[in-house]
Structure formats: structure tokens, C-alpha cells
């Protein structure tokens, strides 16, 4: 799509820095990626609850929910998947600009797509969280019955079955959910945010 040269970015008086100060947090995108049923939504929700309890301002963009509205015109072809992630990245960027700790839970199986999302914000505003769960465990959990449908051939291009998942090479946070409780996994993320100054707090509160 062509950029329109008559559309000019309008500088706003209230900047991200000012919002950051008011909200007492450093906004960022917490980008959860992993196989279906790896635990992205569960963890993103658990992290948001922890942050909310601490008085932080957050918003969670969830894959299925976004497909009900903003991206309901998109399917699962390669082009549509790229557009899906691009729009999510742009929306997440706006939320970061608004000062929020923005959590996203999307399979986002391709490195290049995650790279697009990462490239939209400053390098320390993107925290990639690899929700690393072996496919056998995901398939056993199968909370939405999707693996069964994919195995039966009722869903095509299902990540992990007949479509690849490209693992992150250097995620900021790597979580193995089959070895920890949901709370322990959520605490790892909150700890990271404290350690790197996104929120105030004492890491020892979350020693696990």
C-alpha cells in the first residue's frame, strides 16, 4: 500500500515520556509466542493479574479475540497471517505509546513476523516470551480440541502438525511450562520486569 504524502505525523503535547512518568512504569510489549495450548493465554492472563494487583496499567491483546473484531476479515493464508501480525504489532505499538504494559498472546510461528512486530518499537520495548511446551504435552492438554481436529484433517495448516513453528533463538524470557506451575511461570515474567526496571519492586518477592 502507498503512503500518502499529504498525511503528516502530528506531534502531540502529551508524549510517551510524560505518560510513563504519570503511570510510573516503562511501557513495553510482552509478546508471548508458542504452540497452540502451550499456555500463552493462561500465562498472559496470570501475568496481567499480578501486574494489576501491583497497580500497574496493562492491556492484553489475545489472538482469538482480535480475530473476532479488528482482524475478522483475515483468514489463515500466508498473506493473511502476516497481515494479522502486522496489525497486532501496530495496535500493540499504540498501546505502548499510551504508556501501557501491553501483553499479546499469539502463536506467531514465523520468526520474520515476530521480527516485524519487534521492529515497530524501540529494542528494549519488545520482550519476547517463548512459551516452550513440547508438542506432546500441548496435544495432551488440547483445551480447545484443536489438535484432535488437525490430526483428523479437519483443520489444515495447523502449527506443529502440518505447518512449522520456528522457535525463537534469543527470546528475552524462555519458559518451560511443563516444569512449573502457572504461578511460577507468571512470577518469572514479573521478576524480569522488575529486574530490568519496567516496574518498581523487589525481585526477592518473587524468588522461585
180 near ligand ADP, rule: CB under 6 A: yes
In the set 36, 38, 41, 108, the catalytic residue is 108
Nearest residue to ligand ADP by CB is 39
Among the listed ranges 22-30, 65-73, 160-168, 174-182, the one in contact with ligand ADP (CB under 6 A) is: 174-182
Indicate if 108 belongs to the active site: yes
Query: Length of the chain in residues, anyone?
Result: 208
Residue for cell digits 503528516? 8
Q: Which of 77, 119, 140, 181 binds ligand ADP (CB under 6 A)?
A: 181
171 near ligand ADP, rule: CB under 6 A: no
* Beta pairing partners, 49: none
40 near ligand ADP, rule: CB under 6 A: yes
- Find the shortest distance in angstroms from Cβ 126 to ligand ADP: 19
Of 25 and 102, the one with the shorter C-beta distance to ligand ADP is 102
29 near ligand ADP, rule: CB under 6 A: no
DSSP SS3 for 7: coil
Of 25 and 38, the one with the shorter C-beta distance to ligand ADP is 38
Rounded to whole angstroms, what are the CA distances from 34 to 6, 148, 164, 195? 40, 18, 11, 24
Note whether 102 and 95 are within 8 A (CB).
yes
DSSP SS3 for 50: helix
Question: Which residues, in sequence order, are CB contacts of 114 under 8 Å at separation 6+?
Answer: 31, 33, 85, 108, 128, 168
Provide DSSP, 180-200: S-HHHHHHHHHHHHHHTTSS-
114 near ligand ADP, rule: CB under 6 A: no
Among the listed ranges 1-9, 116-124, 157-165, 179-187, the one in contact with ligand ADP (CB under 6 A) is: 179-187
Binding site for ligand ADP (CB under 6 A): 34, 36-43, 105, 141, 143, 177, 180-182, 185
Amino acid at each position: 500500500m502507498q503512503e500518502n504524502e499529504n498525511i503528516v505525523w502530528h506531534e502531540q503535547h502529551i508524549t510517551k515520556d510524560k505518560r510513563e512518568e504519570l503511570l510510573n512504569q516503562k511501557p513495553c510489549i510482552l509478546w508471548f509466542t508458542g504452540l497452540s495450548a502451550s499456555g500463552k493465554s493462561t500465562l498472559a492472563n496470570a501475568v496481567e493479574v499480578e501486574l494489576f494487583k501491583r497497580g500497574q496499567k496493562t492491556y492484553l491483546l489475545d489472538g482469538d479475540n482480535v480475530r473476532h473484531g479488528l482482524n475478522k476479515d483475515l483468514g489463515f493464508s500466508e498473506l493473511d497471517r502476516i497481515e494479522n501480525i502486522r496489525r497486532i504489532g501496530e495496535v500493540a505499538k499504540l498501546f505502548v505509546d499510551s504508556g501501557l504494559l501491553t501483553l499479546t498472546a499469539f502463536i506467531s510461528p514465523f520468526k520474520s513476523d515476530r521480527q516485524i512486530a519487534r521492529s515497530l518499537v524501540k529494542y528494549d520495548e519488545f520482550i519476547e516470551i517463548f512459551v516452550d511446551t513440547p508438542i506432546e504435552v500441548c496435544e495432551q492438554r488440547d483445551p480447545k480440541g484443536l489438535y484432535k481436529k488437525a490430526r483428523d484433517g479437519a483443520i489444515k495448516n495447523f502449527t506443529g502438525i502440518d505447518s512449522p513453528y520456528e522457535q525463537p533463538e534469543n527470546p528475552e524470557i524462555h519458559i518451560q511450562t511443563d516444569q512449573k506451575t502457572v504461578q511460577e511461570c507468571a512470577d518469572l515474567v514479573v521478576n524480569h520486569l522488575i529486574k530490568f526496571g519496567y516496574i518498581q519492586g523487589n525481585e526477592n518477592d518473587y524468588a522461585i
